[in-house]
Structure 1
């Protein structure tokens, strides 16, 4: 796959994600609030560790990479 095609597909994907997040903000309201996502809040600090959310993102990216870059 040439670099031009890759950049074009990446740009289209970013545009679609931007449109979805702009016009349907409640669609991903669950993201970051899954069981396994750690949120520790204190008076002066807040710590957020999205373990489960990042596992889901990793699985999606792996699936997409296997679909697009399989020979």
Structure 2
């Protein structure tokens, strides 16, 4: 088996751990996530549709910044 796969799995596991710790300790301070002005919410009787457009754009920009920083410095 390729040892590079093991490195990726360890990195992915650490990333999940870090995200879990952030949510556990700072979850109440992140309550604005999913309630941004660009998120679309449709409420009708017996139907609720939620499109988190602005939240996904913000997360995408953050993840791309992290990936760019990792590639630049490693």
TM-score (norm 2): 0.80
Provide runs of 4+ in structure 1 moved above 3 Å.
none
**Alpha-carbon RMSD:** 1.6
Q: CA deviation at 1:59?
A: 0.4
Whole-Å Cα distance in 2 between the matches of residues 27 and 7 of structure 1? 29
TM value normalised by structure 1 = 0.83
Query: Following TM superposition, by how much is the alpha carbon of 1:38 offset from its aligned partner in structure 2, in angstroms?
Result: 0.6
Gaps of 5+ in 1: none
Structure with greater helix share of residues:
2
Aligned residues: 70
Could you report, residue by residue, the CA deviation over 1:42-67 in whole angstroms, capped at 9, with x for unpaired residues?
11100101111010011011111112
Q: Distance in 2 between matches of 1:44 and 1:27?
A: 31
In the TM superposition, what is the alpha-carbon distance from 1:27 to its structure 2 partner?
2.2
